Amino acid sequence: MKTILVPTDLSPMTTYALDVAVGLARTHQAEIVLLHTVLYQLVAQPAGDYTPEFSAIMAENYEMAYQQAQQDLQALASNPRYAGVVIKTKLGSNLDGLIRCINEQPADLIVLASQGASGLMEWLEGSNAERIVRHAHCPVLVVKGPIEHFQPKNIVCGIDLDEKLKERHMYPFQLTDQGLQQFVYVLTPHDVHEPEGIRQWMDELALAKGIAHYQLSIWRAPAVAEGILDFADQQQADLIVLYTHGRTGLSHWIQGSVAEDVLNHAKVPVLVMRA
């Protein structure tokens, strides 16, 4: 891992993600890029009101906001507790689009901060959060709150039966000394798969990935997101790992509200990998 991208709205929550990113950067000798998109205010006006003077005022306001954001980003990057880690800053415009700004920045990992059940931070609410996870070009780590030392040891990985999961994946950081060992498949009332078939598929996945020892739990729940969250709580997990399946959408078991529910309601960080 060489580069960690931390998108920020410059709210106090930014430090949750940045603290984790700095810890990972120190371990992997990586650099961090702080990304902020500056809001360009588009004001609805009658066509005749768009005078050169009005346009000049809008441009001046944007320039002031841009300069302030530069100062705020630099102040954040210069925090003494981040000493020894290379933290670069990058500014974009909301006119460029958040997803485009993120995907134009080469990175091995994206770290985001989330408030949890009450919703993601203001600029990352609702569908924006899901879009970033779905369309990001690299793994995304969603941090739920302040973490003194991010060193997950009790990791739960949610699986479906997609064959792409059998491919070997490069994780952005080490997932314990033994790697992933605890897997959960959520069996909902409408799921027609038999437990024995699920276990056989998991055996094939373990063989394909070179996993010598693992534990598979088949967890019955009314909905997949609810099952993942309940199982993670029962196991006292300190990290949940999920998978996406390309730019066209998330896997069938983590579509729509499922992804949003897991990301918003999990009490622990969530790492979303691209399958």
Q: Report the pLDDT averaged over residues 140-154.
A: 92
pLDDT, tens digit (0-9, with 9 covering 90-100), for 198-248: 999 999 999 998 898 999 999 999 999 899 999 999 999 999 999 876 544
Residue-level pLDDT at 198: 97
Q: Which of 65-69, 89-93, 145-149 has the highest mean pLDDT?
A: 145-149
Domain coordinates in residue numbering, the chain: 3-143, 155-274
Residue-level pLDDT at 177: 67
What is the residue type of 73? Answer: L
At residue 54, does pLDDT exceed 80? no
Q: CA–CA separation, 198 vs 162, rounded Å?
A: 11
Residue-level pLDDT at 120: 45
Residue-level pLDDT at 1: 92
At residue 123, does pLDDT exceed 50? no
Fold (CATH) for 3-143 = Rossmann fold (3.40.50)
Q: Report the pLDDT averaged over residues 68-94.
A: 92
User: Which residue has better confidence, 98 or 112?
Assistant: 112
Q: Structure pTM? A: 0.86
Residue-level pLDDT at 119: 44
3-143 and 155-274 share one fold = yes
Q: What is the CATH class of 155-274? A: alpha beta
Residue-level pLDDT at 260: 65
User: Which residue has better confidence, 225 or 59?
Assistant: 225
Residue-level pLDDT at 37: 85
Residue 122's pLDDT band (boundaries 50, 70, 90)?
Answer: very low
DSSP per-residue string spanning the chain: --EEEEE--SSTTHHHHHHHHHHHHHHHT-EEEEEEEEP-------GGG--HHHHHHHHHHHHHHHHHHHHHHHHHHT-GGGTTS-EEEEEEETTT-HHHHHHTS--SEEEEEB--TT-B-GGG-THHHHHHHHH-SS-EEEE-S--SS----SEEEE----GGGGS----SS--STT---EEEEEE-TT----HHHHHHHHHHHHHHHT--S-EEEEEE-SSHHHHHHHHHHHTT-SEEEEEE--TT-B-GGG-THHHHHHHHH-SS-EEEEE-
Residue-level pLDDT at 187: 96
At residue 50, does pLDDT exceed 70? no
263 close to 270: Cβ distance less than 8 angstroms: yes
At residue 180, does pLDDT exceed 50? yes
Could you tell me the two tokens for 142? 């969603």
pLDDT, tens digit (0-9, with 9 covering 90-100), for 1-23: 999 999 988 888 889 999 999 99
Residue-level pLDDT at 176: 76
Q: Which of 83, 116, 94 is nearest to 35 (CA)?
A: 94
Residue-level pLDDT at 252: 42
Q: Which of 33-42, 158-167, 238-247 has the highest mean pLDDT?
A: 158-167
Q: Report the pLDDT averaged over residues 177-195.
A: 91
Q: Specify the range with the lowest mean pLDDT, choosing from 137-151, 188-202, 239-253.
A: 239-253
Residue-level pLDDT at 127: 45
176 close to 155: Cβ distance less than 8 angstroms: yes
